[in-house]
Amino acid sequence: MKCYLVTGGAGFIGANFVKYILKYAPEIQLIVLDALTYAGNLGTIASDISDNSRCVFVKGDICDKELVNKLFEEYPIDCVVNFAAESHVDRSIENPQLFLQTNILGTQNLLDGARHHWVTGKAENGYPLWKSNVRFHQVSTDEVYGSLGTGGYFTELTPLDPRSPYSASKTSADLIVKAYADTYKMPVSITRCSNNYGPYHFPEKLIPLIIKNILEGKQLPVYGDGSNVRDWLYVDDHCKAIYTVIEKGREGEVYNVGGHNERTNLEIVKTIIHTIYQILSREQHYRAMLKKQTILADGSIDISWINEGLITFVKDRLGHDQRYAIDPTKITNELGWTPQTMFDEGIIKTVRWYLDNQAWVEEVTSGDYQKYYEKMYGDR
Ligand code: NAD
Ligand code: DAU
């Protein structure tokens, strides 16, 4: 049995990855390390931990040297999959230092932990000799490439040009991973993915925030003129790509992950409005969860207000990247990965998941979320 140390496994993509591996890769045992920041929720993976001897949870910080060393001593870790990060661009504009701390120094601390436990000796040329079949996998982002105009795609050869404190910290993490590969010949890989969507996405990010606001009868904040483009990928497709790269990808390589699904933010918001409206038109029981309850003459709950009139254009994000678009040719040609879930299907699945899992939304937003929302959107 192989053993993966999955950091950030209580967050959006990490939790989906934990579920993906438990379902599709019976040969792998998981140690999940997560600090449970505002973005991490143990409830998301509670059943995966309690029902499964293949999955152990450890609460802790990736920057904690002692803890990381202890984990390597305690468990036969063959692979580190590093999801743990501060992940929200808007928060990085407010508090850059935390992003540098977690995303750069945390990654470096994990690299060192792995290096100390995976090096078995020294070759004649002075380079370390590595335990066989080990891998440090860094989960990175397309944001390291900066921003595109109307044409072109990010390939693995696109120069790094991060523009926000978040993307600068992720780029720095990629470079320190590369430095360990070049300097110590550490077996590493990196995936750079476009925007994910799907279950367990924290409602500070565009898609779950818009769903939540509609259900609460609130305005839908669109930054700037809504023309910014993101390239959306269903989260399970990302999980499959990461697993494929770890198991089959070449050491030392970067693989871009994306599904050729570019949409403007305005299109995304309109699609969500129409999807919710259609589901609630047909399945009336969902209307009971709306905060705005106007009863019509026929006794049904009014949903006519769920329309594009909810859209509010608000002050733009500072340094807002205009367009991201991934060219996934390398991972498709080399490893046979292609996305399975098309956007039209994925967005319906996602909206339904949120309608059916309001308790999860309430749980994860019960802490500082209201304060955050007021601070971020109050003066926009
Ligand atoms: P998330 O914010 O939902 O989850 C991050 C997780 O990391 C949380 O569970 C949090 O508690 C944990 N964490 C934060 N700081 C930690 C620390 N110091 N020690 C241990 N755990 C810590 O993020 P996400 O959207 O799931 O993103 C996961 C990774 O994927 C990130 O590295 C992100 O940069 C990358 N990524 C995200 C997307 C996307 O669209 N969400 C796309 C490409 C790449
Ligand atoms: O591209 C990959 C990246 O995608 C990941 O590396 C990040 O971790 C992840 O958070 C995501 O970053 P974005 O900034 O693209 O995602 P976000 O959901 O915050 O915003 C998507 C777009 O929607 C962006 O252009 C800003 C806009 N937006 C966002 C929010 C929260 C709005 O118009 N209104 C909003 O309220």
Strand partners, 138: 82, 190
The Cα 26–Cα 224 span in angstroms is 46
> Residue 273 falls within a domain, yes or no?
no
> Residue 296 falls within a domain, yes or no?
no
- The pair phi, psi for residue 228, each rounded to 5°, is -65, 145
- The pair phi, psi for residue 165, each rounded to 5°, is -55, -40
- Is 143 a residue of the active site? yes
> Residue 357 falls within a domain, yes or no?
no
> Residue 314 falls within a domain, yes or no?
no
Q: Judge whether 128 and 87 are in contact, CB under 8 Å.
A: no
Choose one of 5, 6, 7, 13 to mutate for the ligand 1 pocket test, by most ligand atoms within 8 angstroms of C-beta: 13
Q: From 321, 320, 322, 284, select the one nearest 303 (Cα to Cα).
A: 284
What H or E segment, with its residue span, contains residue 130? strand 128-130
> Residue 256 falls within a domain, yes or no?
yes
Q: Judge whether 32 and 352 are in contact, CB under 8 Å.
A: no
> Residue 223 falls within a domain, yes or no?
no
Quote the pLDDT of residue 280.
98
What the block records as the tokens of 309 is 């009139």
Nearest ligand to the CA atom of 242: 1
Look at residue 196 and give its three-state secondary structure.
strand
> How does pLDDT run across 102-159, given as a tens digit for each residue?
999 999 999 999 999 999 999 999 999 999 999 999 999 999 999 999 999 999 999 9
Which domain range does residue 39 map to?
Answer: 2-202+234-260+323-341
Quote the pLDDT of residue 120.
97
At a CB cut-off of 8 Å and minimum separation 6, what does 330 contact? 155, 156, 255, 256
Closest atom of ligand 1 relative to the 200 alpha carbon: 3
With a Cβ cut-off of 6 Å, ligand 2 is lined by 87-89, 141-143, 194-195, 205-206, 209, 221-223, 228, 230, 265, 317, 324
Q: Which residues of 163-187 are buried (b: 16+ CB within 10 A; e: fewer)?
A: bbbbbbbbbbbbebbbebbeebbbb
What H or E segment, with its residue span, contains residue 255? strand 253-257
Q: Is 209 in the pocket of ligand 1 (CB under 6 A)?
A: no
The Cα 60–Cα 87 span in angstroms is 17
Question: 34, 61, 78, 142: which is the annotated catalytic residue?
Answer: 142
Tell me the average pLDDT across 10-23.
98
89 CA distance to ligand 2 centroid (A)? 7
Residue nearest to atom 4 of ligand 1 (CA): 11
Q: Is 89 in the pocket of ligand 1 (CB under 6 A)?
A: no
Q: Judge whether 45 and 11 are in contact, CB under 8 Å.
A: no
Quote the pLDDT of residue 52.
73
The Cα 71–Cα 61 span in angstroms is 12
Quote the pLDDT of residue 214.
98
How many structural domains are present in the chain? 1
Quote the pLDDT of residue 50.
85
Q: Is 346 in the pocket of ligand 1 (CB under 6 A)?
A: no
Tell me the average pLDDT across 188-209.
98
> Residue 290 falls within a domain, yes or no?
no
229 CA distance to ligand 2 centroid (A)? 10
Q: Is 34 in the pocket of ligand 1 (CB under 6 A)?
A: yes
Quote the pLDDT of residue 220.
98
Question: 145, 153, 166, 180: which is the annotated catalytic residue?
Answer: 166
Q: Judge whether 167 and 143 are in contact, CB under 8 Å.
A: yes
> How does pLDDT run across 249-289, given as a tens digit for each residue?
999 999 999 989 999 999 999 999 999 999 999 999 999 99
Instruction: DSSP for 214-241, please give it.
Output: HHTT--EEEETTS--EEE-EEHHHHHHH
Tell me the average pLDDT across 241-247.
98
Q: Give how far the C-alpha of residue 224 lies from the chain's centroid of Cα atoms, to the nearest Å.
A: 24
Nearest ligand to the CA atom of 319: 2
Per-residue confidence band for 237, with pLDDT thresholds at 50, 70 and 90:
very high
Q: Which CATH number is 187's domain given?
A: 3.40.50.720
Per-residue confidence band for 308, with pLDDT thresholds at 50, 70 and 90:
very high
Q: Judge whether 121 and 191 are in contact, CB under 8 Å.
A: no
Per-residue confidence band for 379, with pLDDT thresholds at 50, 70 and 90:
confident
What the block records as the tokens of 41 is 């929720």
Q: Is 262 in the pocket of ligand 1 (CB under 6 A)?
A: no
> Residue 351 falls within a domain, yes or no?
no
The Cα 347–Cα 345 span in angstroms is 6
Task: Kindly report the pTM of this predicted structure.
Answer: 0.98
Only one residue has tokens 């490893």, namely 335
Q: How far is CA 118 from CA 82, 129, 213, 252, in A?
A: 16, 8, 47, 16
State yes or no: pLDDT of 370 exceeds 90: no
